[in-house]
Structure 1
Amino acid sequence: MIGNDVIDLAAAKKESNWQREGFLQRLFSEEEQQAIANHPEQETMVWVLWSMKEAAYKAWNRQTRTRAFIPHLLHCSVKVLDSENFMGKVVCGDFKYHTQTSISDDALHTVAVADNSQKIHEPVNPEIIKGEGGLPFIRDKKKLLPASVSHHGRYRRVISVCD
């Protein structure tokens, strides 16, 4: 199972006030709020954790076929590799997803996979096909491969499993 999320950091800065009362408490656990408070770039950590939750949710949704607003049930742990790269895990009940987040060109992108050995790629100009429940697939030769589509502001990212 795969999922991805992209955040246009300039758009997020204009559209979202993460410092407003109740914002962090509604979306993040105490541990996640502590990770935000302890990070030198708090706003960056807010979007890293949110993006991890979004990418993992897409993988979870593909796996369970359940749609729900559940950020409080997605528990993140994150390791900061450097100012632009993060690795983590997101746990939702019995499901666990491995994440990689990178920041470049004013965009933050997270990929989540259920199986850490699963190979993914970003196809160029893929044909997106909606399957059962609206789940995205791409056509690769004569096969349909699971895909994840994300867009925000100026950015759009599509990932798919490798054949």
Structure 2
Amino acid sequence: MIGNDIVDLALSRTESNWKRKGWVQKIFTAIEQHYIFEADHPEIQVWKFWSMKEAVYKAHQRRFGHPPKYNPKDFNCTLGGEVMIDKCVYKTSTIITEKYIYSIAKASNIEYDTQIFDETLRMHPLLLQKIAENYKIDSSIVTIKKDGNGIPMVRIDQKAEDIPISITHHGQYSAFVIGLE
């Protein structure tokens, strides 16, 4: 299973005051708080851990079919990129730029492809094309619908397929990650 999350840093600076009293304590475990406040760039560490937790939430929810319920303190991040929840360990990889932080989480050695976009409108047709190329089919028969838990599901010729996929967007950035066959 895979998941992803992106944080638009410019938007996070206007929408979320991570320095306000109690915010960090509400979201992060004691050890994560220690890592944040000891970091050279605490703001970057906050959003890195946040994106890791969100990416793992998506992977974990898909893996076990959980209904939407997110308690950030249930997800325990390490500086090495691992995140633990419910005795499960997920590996994450994170890209940090001046404009965004992007994390991918996976529960196995699944090969994947990912793309990041700075315009959310362009992503959907390219995602459908990527799926079509991977499965050697026409993109006109590929659609993406959310299931009852809000998890995106790939449909090929109206039939649901078990293709690991995760979609994220925040501010002016969006991204997808898709498991490869």
Which band: TM-score by shorter chain? 0.7 to 0.9
Which region of structure 1 is more displaced relative to structure 2, 2-11 or 127-136? 127-136
Is the Cα contact below 8 Å between 2:57 and 2:70 reproduced in 1?
no
Does residue 96 of structure 2 align to residue 103 of structure 1? yes
Equivalent residue, structure 2, for 1:90: 83
SS in 1 for 2:127: coil
Does residue 153 of structure 2 align to residue 153 of structure 1? no
Q: Which runs of 5+ in 1 are unaligned?
A: 80-87
Equivalent residue, structure 2, for 1:121: 113
Post-superposition CA distance 1:26-73 (Å, at most 9, x none): 000110001001110000000000000000000111122222121111
Residues 17-96 of structure 1 correspond to what in structure 2 (within 5 A)? 17-66=17-66, 67-79=68-80, 88-96=81-89
CA distance in 2, matches of 1:133, 1:25: 28
Equivalent residue, structure 1, for 2:118: none
Aligned alpha-carbon RMSD (Å): 1.9
More helix by share: 2
Q: Which runs of 5+ in 2 are unaligned?
A: 116-125, 129-142
SS in 2 for 1:48: helix
Which TM-score applies when normalising by structure 1?
0.86
CA distance in 2, matches of 1:50, 1:130: 23
Q: How many residues align?
A: 154
More strand by share: 1
Q: Which runs of 4+ in 1 moved over 6 A?
A: 140-143
Which region of structure 1 is more displaced relative to structure 2, 8-17 or 133-142? 133-142
